[in-house]
Amino acid sequence: MNLRLISLITGFCWSLLALSSQAVSLSFVSSSDESLNLGLISQVSSDEQIREDMLIEGMDKGILGDYQGAIEDFTEVIDLYPDSAEAYYNRGIAYSKLGNYDAAIADYNQAISLNSNLAEAYVDRAKIYFHFGNSSKGLKDLQRAADIFKQQGNTIAYNQTVEMIQKLQ
């Protein structure tokens, strides 16, 4: 399932990490006890699954229009996992839907600082900049998003972003 596609459709970011990337991140652990390594991988996988489940609960609420409930869920994720760019990004979407644009910008900024390749955060931040007449910042964000989409091989999002840029110039 392409969760980025769901993100484009719903406005909420569904990006799940593969278990194999978690195992790679633990490859530096050295121990003569293999069960310790497996336990660490299992613990991280379980912890990651809990985080993803919490994110999905918030996204479900957002999709159903319960933006305040989504904000509460994403805030809980952030409290437990402060390095979750996806939680900040999705909470930014919910804040934006409620018209709290300052909070949305702050969350998009944090999401970008945690994951500078989260192109969707640049796009959504650009929309707010354009809403308030700051077209130079908006165009800069859209260009950055287009570059990231192109690097990621996301042709559909890249073309949509380039089309937005052309319409707004």
Convert the pLDDT of each residue in 34-72 to its tens digit. Answer: 444 444 444 557 888 999 999 999 999 999 999 999 999
- Tally of residues, the chain: 169
Q: Low-confidence residues of the chain, pLDDT below 50? A: 1-10, 14-42
Q: Does the residue 154 lie in any domain?
A: yes
| 4 and 64 co-located in one domain | yes
Q: Are 78 and 94 in contact (CB under 8 A)?
A: no
Question: Which residues does 114 contact at the CB level (< 8 Å), separation at least 6?
Answer: 83, 84, 85, 88
Please tell me the pTM assigned to this model: 0.76
Same domain, 7 and 82: yes
Range of the domain at 102: 1-13+43-115
- What is the DSSP-derived secondary structure letter of residue 117? T
Gyration radius (Cα) of the chain, Å: 18
Looking at the fold, whether 84 and 98 belong to one and the same domain comes out as yes
* C-alpha 158: how far from chain center: 17
Number of folded domains that form the chain: 2
Residue 104 inside a domain? The answer is: yes
- pLDDT at res. 38: 45
Residues 69 and 104 in one domain: yes
Residues 145, 159 within the same domain: yes
Q: Are 144 and 107 in the same domain?
A: no
